[in-house]
A and B are shown apart, each in its own frame.
Chain A
């Protein structure tokens, strides 16, 4: 215990000395009435630093276990200063682990990458994984144990726990967020054995409870539906946004769905996706066909679909003869035919938020279609036993009735997320509330004990992926603020003493591996994954007494309000991570706020426009929030997302006195059901929204090229300039006369020697679904600053890669979506280079358009002359402003990548193709082979590595067999704005859609 207790993270010599003055300073760190809270200007300054930093003074980073500190008089094995080390780990999210590899610079993790050895995620990640680095270095994270709001220590808590839990008859309610940790599971069993009157419930506001109850209803067993979309020709999503990072298995599903849409020749086929949904989801934007229905109508749609299928396949007799308002809908017969034709190769899924009945119907359909064991696997997931909305409701009821003495909460924040259960008032009837959490959040503020939690990068842990692959969570650093992990706290409660997480996890795996532990453990740590693991697959069959609840055909006739997890903040747990706040929502492109999404028709009915504040009342609760028109949204339906409007969490998450930032808490409208009846009215107020994209139409321009699979098969060159414009690229004819294969140019062209690698990128628009993980990965890799809502509103976003989103189609209510990631095109004839008066941007021999920050004087002429508008200007000196806010600069500085310069104000910056990675690979290749050309795949850009859809190809164009060279030879490859003769090195692989002729 003692080794953890000491403050191992020292910021200055004074702190080491622990003098009184310093103690006072620490107390003052975040004074209650910090003036900056009301001051938008310094707030921006603070936000800036969440992504940027000054002087990466190395001495400030020294973090070593206190008892093992040694000078580098002998160099420790594996550590070469300046060379990062990579360790496998995994991040838990909604109880599922995603395999990661963490880049570690001199003892501090700076970047997470997907673990390519992980069989499920295969190297992909979501925005939440990428942003977790900043989450750990968040200076607003809770730094100490609090006893009824005043400072305390871990030792005090242990002493308290020893005394308090000595009475094993205590009526204890353990409430945990979803966790697949076998160690936690073991301790949980111990705890429930020891405390006879204890109960354990898992609570997730957007958890799987309904899905599990659905399978209970259909099969008589709580099992998890785990899809294998790689085997599905047809996928029907009922409001199920499987591709969005908010889905616990988005990465694996993203890999599968996009892989089934990889088309590299006309002979390839691709899957077909149907989306039935109320809002416009990421999955809906990826679908070939999309039907907008109110969320309350979706179950009726599922019933109608099942009824239509009942006459085509066996096993759905419970639905035969059932009719409702959708029975004669065009989609029903088309989908029924399509699914019937793809029995065993189709998949139907429903959002976890839908009712158990909806999940039961979906399960029945999948079973009847013979999809079980092929595209859908049902898994017995032991840790999900406690996840139940009704059990949680019971617990809250017990608390209210005074039948609970002690509540122990692990991570979850029900005071904020379970407002429909009125959890806050239930807490007041409880004697002791122990809350372990990352922030002093809403629940912590009501708890009698708050324990600061160790981040997953700081503490040992374990768990399973969504499909059951086992991993160990390896810490990368000692806990910055001496936090404790879930298992350590539970162990204290159960055993009364501190045992390190390392021991606890090892003990679990000793139990699992038995005698082979030693070698298997090392392999597990090295690979980060135990591929010989997985949840047990269960054979299921439809219960004989299964009957759909057809009363649920009745949709809400008036206006419905649908409360969903936020695409960038999830349930609010990521609200203080500035990268995520500033990440544009994949569909709306809104940053920093939540809005009430509605269709243009509904907005017209309500007489509102974007940014008009509406008052939404449902179940007696009222929320005022800005309206936003989402083309393609269902009419008479309003979608809200949660996680905003926080108070007392941190400087990024909090809403501010002037209510111009921070969004609105919409949890009061979240009921027990996904949707609820609501009345909506215009208030007459407006609220500014910072949206990074003002214009949503392509204006008939050709930067995004798409065709159907059929069209591609008959016109393979549909994406070529000539096909699109009917005439060849200007300058080609003249070039042909001179025997050249690129258009003629006025300028002397730089030659790019074949002795150097020639870097190029291809982005497959058919794979990209616009999730935005590339943006966060790039931000993390390249020290890109966060600038705050005000600056985003002024159009100064700094992201080096952005995902443009256009709406395509004639009808504003039924648009298709085009996602297009746009990094620097690295033009060979770069317009930016011609116009810089001081030659600050020039070309390298390996074909990269380079930006020399030191030379830049900031005329912004290059950005003006960039037809792709990818250059980003440092309008302010973010680092300096940060230093004046009095926060702890050194903590956030630790999140910076030391291989990338932190830019000063007044200089231009832009995508570099991750030149630091490229050059490291070139140096290594030169040492090993004598040639500066790394093997194909040896260097991956941050965006490419993170992409769950494998949409980005990067490599050496002189290597004709490289993946990128192959993609660029594909007939669907095209250059954006080719007629300008900028000769971009980044090109696009044109989009394909696979519509059903019956619905065309």
Chain B
């Protein structure tokens, strides 16, 4: 009938799982006794979190002078890290909301995971704008709190827009994540044997009993939140980019920033999801759900967004030349040849060159190579933020004010410390919450489509799926 042969999608879940085995696969992690490895990892993460605490404490005690900032370079690692973490936080919402709206069912394997990463990354990001100010005790002045002096924040300032953008994004992401969690929390509640678990999961599953009405409400809410979250994917990094684009500093003052930042954010976010996923699926034996197919699809996204970022880099150069503005031209030449050229070429190599390897199918399906590139991309994206933030400030209009910026140990420790926050949260997530959106995955497994009716041929037959030999599932 059709002039094209129907090529069915490969199965999204491998291993011939049925609903029960999937439930066991995912929720046993939360229900069985805590493994020793988890404790070891938690100790490591908590040590880093302690470093964050010490760094922030010392910062507040002593002042921003402990960082490497200087006169032309008023923003350094704190802002670089902020943008970097926010960028990483983009993958979750993109995967869960945008791909949901586009009915990309493969998202179900990773959306829970990615959303959790998003929330924790935004938490890490949020640390920096709060602590980088000189007088942290007055930070609440950025909120429009009614006061007797009738003194409002300056609504012209992109930093204020940032406050709203990031907090909105965090709130919506958190709600979206939580709504998706409710049916799975109920599953754990139902399987839990200890009283504390029953109560705790019982409270957070909001009395879910899987009734038709619950499902109806759930799906509507999920749809609405996906709709709300979708524009936020674009808006957050757009507004973060305004911190730079709205200023008049050469290399910052450019209209390409919003799309370029969003592409870069998705790029780095996907890379981070891959980094975590490859490790987690190995440790927790989730290869049947988080398959190599998922990895390949994400690698394609990385390749596309990486190329977009590369295109943006070239456009920046072109526009700098085309604009005829000497300061704009100078900063781009200085980025490539000046005191920070090492950072610039690190960025170019990591962000533009490395994703191009994913044109090769074998490499996109190679777990080891993907893991390597995912790390490289995140290093590259960190350097991108550094190149943007530091070079423009260090070499702006008046050559007399040019200065070199280098971080202090406290800059480094604060950054390292946010990994402590991130991994602490992530380990708690892995331990206590289902890392796979169980209810959603169950909807997309072959077993969820049992009627075996092909609409095109109007025949009943077994789905053309190659199912590997079933393996016994360990309890």
Interface residues of A (CB under 8 A from B): 693-701, 703, 747, 791, 794-797, 802, 804-806, 820, 822, 831, 833-839, 855-861, 863-865, 867-869, 872-877, 904-908, 977, 980
Contacts and interface: CB of A to CB of B under 8 A. Distances in A.
Q: Which of B65, B248, B397, B400 has the largest number of chain A CB atoms within 10 A?
A: B400
A698 B327 CA distance: 12
B249 A864 contact: yes
A795 to B, nearest CB: 3
Nearest to A865: B247
Nearest to B139: A857
Given A864-B393, A867-B249, A905-B63, 13 more contacts: A795-B405, A796-B70, A820-B400, A822-B398, A838-B153, A855-B141, A858-B134, A861-B157, A863-B71, A863-B74, A906-B63, A906-B134, A907-B135
B217 interface: no
7 contacts: A701-B327, A795-B404, A805-B400, A822-B400, A837-B154, A858-B134, A859-B133
- The secondary structure that dominates the A interface is loop
A836 B154 contact: yes
Contacts of A861: 74-75, 157, 159, 243, 247
A885 B422 CA distance: 40
Contacts of B326: 700-701
Contacts of B154: 833-834, 836-839
A860 B156 contact: no
What are the 8 A-B residue pairs with the smallest beta carbon separation, nearest first? Answer: A858-B134, A906-B134, A795-B70, A875-B65, A860-B74, A804-B400, A869-B401, A906-B135
A857 B65 contact: no
B163 to A, nearest CB: 7
A835 B246 contact: yes
B160 A837 contact: yes
A622 to B, nearest CB: 33
B459 interface: no
B205 to A, nearest CB: 40
Contacts of B401: 804, 869
Contacts of B393: 864
A856 B135 contact: yes
Q: Which of B64, B71, B151, B157 has the most CB of A within 10 A?
A: B71
Contacts of A796: 65, 70-71
Contact of B75 (A699, A820, A860, A977): A860
A695 B339 CA distance: 12
A859 B132 contact: yes
B63 A876 contact: yes
Contact of A695 (B62, B247, B400): B400
Nearest to B154: A839
Nearest to B408: A794
Contacts of A838: 138, 141-142, 153-154
B399 interface: yes
Contact of B151 (A831, A855, A865): A855
A703 B141 CA distance: 37
B323 to A, nearest CB: 11
Contact of B134 (A696, A833, A905): A905
Nearest to A698: B399
Given A837-B153, A838-B142, A860 B398 contact: no
B403 interface: yes
A696 B398 CA distance: 10
B68 interface: yes
Contacts of A867: 248-249, 396-398
A596 to B, nearest CB: 24
Interface in B121-167: 132-135, 138-139, 141-142, 151-154, 156-160, 163
B152 A869 contact: no
B402 interface: yes
A805 B400 CA distance: 7
Nearest to B62: A876
A591 to B, nearest CB: 14
Nearest to A854: B138
Interface string B45-82: 00000000000000000111100111111110000000
B131 to A, nearest CB: 11
A869 B63 contact: no
Given A868-B397, A876-B62, A797 B248 contact: no
B133 A858 contact: yes
Given A835-B246, A858-B134, A695 B65 contact: no
Contact of B142 (A703, A805, A820, A837): A837
B399 to A, nearest CB: 4
Nearest to A874: B134
A908 B69 CA distance: 14
A766 to B, nearest CB: 19
B330 interface: yes
A857 B398 contact: no
Nearest to B141: A838
A838 B330 CA distance: 32
A693 B68 CA distance: 17
B338 to A, nearest CB: 11
A835 B247 CA distance: 8
Nearest to B243: A861
A863 B403 CA distance: 14
A833 B155 CA distance: 11
B398 A869 contact: yes
Contacts of A859: 132-134, 159
Contacts of B396: 867, 869
Contacts of A805: 400
Contacts of A908: 134
B75 A857 contact: no
A864 B247 contact: yes
Contact of B72 (A834, A835, A869, A877): A869
A795 B153 CA distance: 30
Interface string B217-250: 0000000000000000000000000010011110
A697 B330 CA distance: 13
A861 to B, nearest CB: 6
A466 to B, nearest CB: 33
B150 to A, nearest CB: 12
Contacts of A876: 62-63, 65
Contacts of B132: 859
Contacts of B73: 795
Nearest to B250: A867
Interface string B157-183: 111100100000000000000000000
Nearest to B135: A906
Nearest to B395: A695
Among A791, A861, A908, A980, max chain B CB count under 10 A is at A861
Nearest to A981: B248
Contact of B403 (A694, A856, A868, A877): A694
